[in-house]
Amino acid sequence: MRQPDRIIRMNTVLARTGLSRSTIYRKIAEGTFPPRIKISINGAGWRESDIDRWVADPVAWRPGSGRSLDAV
């Protein structure tokens, strides 16, 4: 049985990627970094698997690669 994908917050993403907050937002706008997902009215985060894939190969990362629709 597959474990559910965890949602991680900004501080964890900053620590794992080594990027600054402004660089992350710029890369999201460029389409070269996983977008945030809304988890509540005032909260957002990232799927841990998306960040892991980006860290493993930032140049090859593309939106939706490696994740099927039924895994969402």
Whether the model pTM is above 0.85: no
Strand partners, 43: none
Q: What distance in Å separates the CA atoms of residue 42 and residue 55, rounded to the nearest whole number?
A: 26
Cβ–Cβ under 8 Å, residues 70 and 42: no
The pLDDT, as a whole number, for residue 5 is 85
pLDDT of residue 70: 39
**Average pLDDT along the chain, 72 residues, taken 10 residues at a time:** 82 96 96 94 94 92 60 42
Q: What is the pLDDT of residue 46?
A: 96
The 3-state DSSP class for residue 29 equals helix
- Contact of 27 with 61, CB cutoff 8 Å: no
In the beta sheet, which residues pair with residue 7? 47
pLDDT of residue 72: 41
